[in-house]
Amino acid sequence: MVLEAIRYSPGSLQILDQLRLPHESVYVPVTSSEDAFHAIKTMTVRGAPAIAIVAALALAVEIFGTDFASPEQARLFITEKLHYLVTSRPTAVNLSDAARKLEILVTETDGSAEDVKQAYLKAAEKMLVDDVDDNKNIGDNGLTWAEKTFGPEPFSVLTICNTGSLATAGYGTALGIIRSIHSAGKLIHAYALETRPYNQGSRLTAYELVHDHIPSTLITDSMASVLLKTHPEIKLIVVGADRVAKNGDTANKIGTYQLSIVARHHGVKFVVAAPTTSIDLRTQSGDDIVIEQRRPEELVTVRGPVVQDGKVDVSKVETINIAAPGINVWNPSFDVAPADLIDAIVTEKGVAVKDSNGSFNLEQFF
Ligand code: MRU
């Protein structure tokens, strides 16, 4: 069975509820931009490419049965909804990039209201298809880079958060590269960080790794340094991206920054895997990236099914508190790995490495 986070057919969109994984696989309908906004905000769907695609397709479903009175009315309706959707989460550039491209498209489409609507539907649907192709190319490019860098011997890999089929239209970015390394027989073992506070690693990446029978182990975030020290066969840390700035600084799940530091200390390669839609040439450096702050509850509570007599009872889901009541909480959802500590940025169009001045040229992909 192929893992499918997003199920779409014209007029219908369903998403796999990522808050209920790994214990339950439940698809929820998304019929409007309001539904999509809520699903993105609550992280029912998450991951930079997935939220952009769900936002675009939700609006496609919303307008599918609508007859607009004029092309102007169609353009205005679509544009206003896109502006609203962009406000659901601020850090991942894929969402605003998709909205900007779709807005330009409807603004520039001449003809009837139906022509404007059809142009939007076609472009939104193409995003879903293109993302899977892009991820497979990221996987191929990452594998080729790794084979060139590490030679013929197999090696182990460490990753953070979830960057797989659940975070994209399919296959994944960083997890896609791990899939490609595994398929090529080059993977000894994959290590997944739990990814506190929201546990995308233990809930989602672990789920995908087990699903695909990839040899893998879960660790807590604080175990990364000692894991690298004691496991020299780990040659690569590969992470996803929510926004890659022009200079290569990369915002990704909180904990990514410290991984980039420990990678350098242990001589392990640190690689970012991202579609070019995650590269934001208008953001000069990581200092200009808005980092989303999440609710304190996501840090001080844990939600999941009750374990009774060693068995998981999915019919009884509870939220428990794991911190002293009254303590202050700081909960940034992302941090920035500096370009200086990044060895390569793998995209669907190729791999960026630093030039003789130590700089990435990301403009080559545009
Ligand atoms: O808060 P999340 O779960 O949306 O954060 C996701 C990440 O940080 C991913 O690494 C990133 O979006 C890339 S997903 C291909």
Residues 112 and 12 in one domain: yes
Q: Which among 76, 102, 131 is the end of a domain?
A: 131
What contacts 55, CB < 8 A, 6 or more positions away? Answer: 33, 36, 37, 40, 82, 85, 86, 88, 95, 98, 99
Measured from the CA of 239, which atom of ligand 1 is nearest? 10
197 Cα to the center of ligand 1, angstroms? 13
Residue 277 in any domain: the answer is yes
Residue 67 lies in a domain: yes
Pocket test for ligand 1, best of 163, 194, 243, 256 (most atoms within 8 A of CB): 163
311 within domain boundaries: no
Residues 121 and 160 in one domain: no
Expressed in angstroms and rounded, the spacing between residue 76 Cα and the centre of ligand 1 is 31
pLDDT tens-digit map of 310-362: 999 999 999 999 999 999 999 999 999 999 999 999 999 999 999 999 999 99
Please check whether residue 172 lies inside any domain of the structure. Answer: yes
- Check pocket membership of 46 for ligand 1, CB cut-off 6 A: yes
Inter-residue contact 332 to 254 (CB < 8 Å): yes
Interval 215-228: pLDDT, tens: 999 999 999 999 99
Residues 216 and 354 in one domain: yes
> Do residues 45 and 51 lie in contact, with contact meaning Cβ atoms separated by under 8 Å?
yes
What are 27's strand-pairing partners? 16
Ligand 1 contacts CB of residue 238 (under 6 A): no
Of the listed 97, 131, 242, 280, which one is catalytic? 242
Over the stretch 146-194, which tens digit does the pLDDT of each residue have?
999 999 999 999 999 999 999 999 999 999 999 999 999 999 999 999 9
Ligand 1 center from residue 50 Cα (angstroms): 9
Q: Looking at the domain assignment, is residue 309 inside a domain? A: no
Active site residue 335: no
Residue 225 lies in a domain: yes
pLDDT digits (tens, 9 = 90+) for 41-59: 999 999 999 999 999 999 9
The answer to whether residues 159 and 114 belong to one domain is: no
Boundaries of domain holding 89? 6-131
Query: Of 332, 270, 320, which Cα lies nearest the Cα of 295?
Result: 332
This prediction has a pTM of 0.96
Domain CATH for 104: 1.20.120.420
Q: Is the CB of 163 under 6 A from ligand 1?
A: yes
Cα of 240 vs centre of ligand 1, distance in Å, is: 7
pLDDT confidence of 2, banded at 50, 70, 90?
A: confident
Q: What is the mean pLDDT of the chain?
A: 97
pLDDT, average across residues 282-310: 96
pLDDT in the model for residue 357: 95
